[in-house]
Amino acid sequence: MARARNLPALVVHGGAGNAGPGAERPERRRGMMAAIRLGAGILRAKGTALEAVVATVVALEDHPLFNAGYGSLLNSEGNVEMDASVMFAEPVFSASKRSGKRSDRTHSHDADYSVSAGAVAVVSRVRNPIMLARAVMEHSPHILMAGHGAENFARKVGIRLVRPEEMITERARERWRVRKEQTGMLEAEAAARAAMGHGTVGAAAVDVHGAIAAATSTGGVPGKLFGRVGDSALIGAGTFAHALGAASATGQGEAIILTALCREAVLALADSTPKVVAREAIAEMIDATGAEAGIILVDGRGRIGYAHNAASMQVARYDPAGGIQHLWLDPIATARRP
């Protein structure tokens, strides 16, 4: 007998890391609620999971209190360098009905689903890196494009380029100044490890057609070296979608890459619920790296899970049973297993 579905469903994160100034919380909550309402509205109107996760992430990229798009943290040189990625798993029958074709690099990952993905790394001149990641997925033969080449591609597909300074908020500049004073910026790497930021954004959704998507966007970790690429640009690490479900990660990118966090978690949905998988994925990440990270997950039945081991993580969720909810999520126990 087919098990009950609770579709559509959407889960969104606003980053795991330090708690951030309390005074900013109401506005971060408001920004997150506006973003999830947008995504949930698309899903309720029978839009696709891809449209929902991209629209949700765009809204958060445009909000200056999130570390993605406008408002991104600055790298060791004081510049914005952003990463983003998106992945879409679509039932094959609806893929062929809607577009009549499948792209060359769309691989059949599962008997009934086709998957596609797009990503960008170290971009400084686009307002919404997630839209460029989607364009790479839909209009190029590639999956990951970086730096000037990615920006050149943006121009070709009609995405407006901005001056890099236009992406820098006064708040981000001030935080960079403070950090520079504290560390002397002599050891940017150590600084990046010592203090996590927060505010990376991501979303995972399943729509009424059964299609599944995830998207992630970030300005990276504080104090990161010029040219550093994090997990948010890497399919399988910071973002993954599959017939089984979808995931987006946040936290110390190097640990997320080492553990292929999102792909491992989504594949584990074959045997467990998103709630259990999220906790286990973070516990395994702690065992392997001792780092701080968070994950959100949705499965093909619309069940949602999330977990993290940082000081704080902002999450919002939507499904027909529970409606829209916002949470400041407590960390799971961080003791490393013997």
What residues are labeled active site? 200
The 10 Å CB-count burial string (b at 16+, else e) for 137-151 is beebeebbbbbeebb
Kindly state whether residue 231 participates in binding ligand ASP, applying the rule CB under 6 A: yes
Shortest Cβ 42–ligand ASP spacing (Å): 24
Q: Interface with ligand ASP includes 232 (CB under 6 A)?
A: yes
Q: From CA 241, how far away is CA 67, in angstroms rounded?
A: 23
Q: Are 257 and 233 in contact (CB under 8 A)?
A: no
Cβ-based nearer residue to ligand ASP, 42 or 73: 73
- DSSP letter, residue 330: P
Q: Are 200 and 69 in contact (CB under 8 A)?
A: no
Say how far apart CA 303 and CA 40 lie, in whole Å.
15
CB atoms within 10 A of CB 195: 15
222 binds ligand ASP (CB under 6 A): no
Helix axes 129-139, 49-61, angle to 10 degrees: 150
250 binds ligand ASP (CB under 6 A): yes
β-strands 212-218, 239-242 pairing: unpaired
Sign of torsion over alpha carbons 8, 239, 169, 310: positive
User: What is the helix (H) or strand (E) element at residue 155, kind and residue range?
Assistant: helix 147-156
**How far from chain centre, in Å, is Cα 241?**
12
Cβ-based nearer residue to ligand ASP, 63 or 209: 63
By the rule CB under 6 A, 197 interacts with ligand ASP: yes
Q: Which CB, 95 or 262, lies closer to ligand ASP? A: 262
Nearer to ligand ASP, 43 or 265 (CB): 265
Closest residue to ligand ASP, judged by C-beta, is 253
Does residue 69 bind ligand ASP (CB under 6 A)? no
Contact range with ligand ASP by CB under 6 A, out of 21-29, 177-185, 215-223, 318-326: 215-223
- Taking CB under 6 A as the rule, does residue 312 contact ligand ASP? no
Q: Is 17 among the residues that bind ligand ASP (CB under 6 A)?
A: yes
Quickly tell me which residue has 């792209």 as its tokens.
Answer: 103
Among 200, 239, 259, 289, binds ligand ASP (CB under 6 A): 200
Look at phi and psi of residue 55 and say left if phi exceeds 0, alpha if psi is from -120 to 50, else beta.
Answer: alpha
* Candidate residues 43, 137, 221, 316; the one interacting with ligand ASP per rule CB under 6 A: 221
Of the pair 40, 121, the CB lying nearest ligand ASP is at 121
39 contributes a contact to ligand ASP by CB under 6 A: no
Contact set with ligand ASP (CB under 6 A): 15, 17, 197, 200, 218, 220-221, 230-232, 250-251, 253, 256
